[in-house]
Amino acid sequence: MSYALVVGNGAAGTFSSWLLAKRGWEVTLVGRGTPSTALSTGCLRSGPNLCRAEISEFLNNEKMPWASGQREGISKIGTSYRCWMSPSHSTWKEGETPKSIAVVGLDGHPSLLPRVVSAMLNGRKIKATPFTIPSQVPSDVPLTSSFRKDEAWEGLAEELQGLSAEAILLPSLVGLQDYHRLDQLEGRCGRNVLEAITPLGSPGQRLADLMLSKAAEAGVTIWDGRKVTALDVENDAAIGATVVGGMDARHISAEAVILATGGPLVDGLVLKERDVSDPLGKFRIVRSKFPLTGGYDSLNGMLINIDGRPMVNVAGAGDCLSSGSREYGSGLTEALENAYRAVRALEGT
């Protein structure tokens, strides 16, 4: 078996595509829309028990170094955020909280509210001082688009020169291409530069971009903006799929499939009231009181068909699988781990 179709462009789909391509498979990755991965904080909440080395290699990127171990950071509303792996400027080693932090916001922009965050930090006995710098960025414009040019970074460095705190907490300002600018800023200011932990913003998009680029580098063919609308199944095996995008609809054959279509938030599962169901109508679902934990049933990585038999060439990964341990705001580690399991399952067939 050498050709695989992977459905879903988030952490689970990109990692499984990358793993398969590195093992010599020809892979097509079909994905559409914004994955939850791009909405996340871009930090892995827990340490993986499986495939740690592969995850590190997959995430390795010269533009954005990672820090791992027990880490702590500050969320954009000033609360503590703990995780196991994060981009280098997001967190510090647990137990090494900076003695003093300057909380820097941009005038009129809601990305980080210095007074609110400082009050939260002071309440947690961390010495924090609010600081606002002048800005022309309209409140509804993401800061990443305004911090692409050298002049913007020059201006920021100058504004921050006089601050005496041990660390400077900034809103999230950079996409993947510009991450190195935080190192440069740290060098210019001579203080630790920290990025507030921010969901629904550039850190998650950075992670999704990084993952997609790694899959592409490994030789995966990426069909972006397309949706798999049907799977053809014969005798417990998938034999083909219908892929639709714009005005184009085509049928492709499939020797092996990984479904990594995400949860109800991204339409990977259909949510009706509190119940989830399979949009493809082919696989068994484990129902749960909480839609977050319901999803596809699986056995040793393979999905179970509606007659209760394990598929021979369709594996599942990520948020579309049922999981008793999934919680709000975590799931990246589990998505990566069960993407690895899905690949192992296909290789065992």
Ligand X SMILES: Cc1cc2nc3c(=O)[nH]c(=O)nc-3n(C[C@H](O)[C@H](O)[C@H](O)COP(=O)(O)OP(=O)(O)OC[C@H]3O[C@@H](n4cnc5c(N)ncnc54)[C@H](O)[C@@H]3O)c2cc1C
Q: Write 247-252 long-range contacts (CB < 8 A, 24+).
A: 252/5, 252/28
Residues 88 and 65 sit within 8 Å (Cβ to Cβ): yes
Min dist CB 87 to ligand X, Å, is 12
| Residue ranges of E strands in 136-226 | 167-170, 192-195, 221-224
- Least distance in Å: CB of 56 to ligand X? 16
Among residues 103 and 211, whose Cβ is nearest to ligand X? 211
Min dist CB 173 to ligand X, Å, is 18
Residue among 118 and 261 whose Cβ is closer to ligand X = 261
Query: Least distance to ligand X from the beta carbon of 176, Å?
Result: 16
Give me the phi and psi of 148, to 5 degrees please: -100, -30
Nearest distance in Å: CB 142, ligand X: 16
Burial of 234 (0-12, 13-18, 19+ CB in 10 A): exposed
Structure tokens at 25: 């498979």
Q: Which is nearer to ligand X, 36 or 91 (CB)?
A: 36
C-beta of 32 vs 191, nearer to ligand X: 32
Shortest distance in whole angstroms from residue 322 CB to ligand X: 12
Residue nearer to ligand X on the CB measure, 36 or 305? 36
Q: For binding to ligand X (CB under 6 A), which residues are involved?
A: 7-13, 30-33, 35-37, 39-41, 43-45, 199-200, 227-228, 260-262, 265-268, 318-319, 329-333, 335
Please return the burial class of 202, using the count of CB atoms within 10 Å of its CB with bins 0-12, 13-18 and 19+. Answer: buried
> Least distance in Å: CB of 141 to ligand X?
20
Report angle CA 29, 32, 34 to the nearest 5 degrees.
115
Query: Which tokens in the block code for residue 94?
Result: 């647990």
CB of residue 51 vs ligand X: minimum separation in angstroms? 15
**Structure tokens that stand for 81 in this block:** 């955020």
Q: 32 vs 109, which CB is nearer to ligand X?
A: 32
Question: Which residue, 36 or 68, has its beta carbon nearer to ligand X?
Answer: 36
Residue 197 bridge partners (DSSP): 75
> Considering beta carbons, is residue 186 or 319 the nearer one to ligand X?
319
63, 62, 90, 86: which is closest to 75 by C-alpha?
A: 90
From 87, 81, 185, 176, select the one nearest 133 (Cα to Cα). 185
Number of other CB atoms surrounding residue 261 within 10 Å: 32
Query: For the purposes of burial, counting CB atoms within 10 Å of the CB of 180, is it exposed (0-12), middle (13-18) or buried (19 or more)?
Result: middle
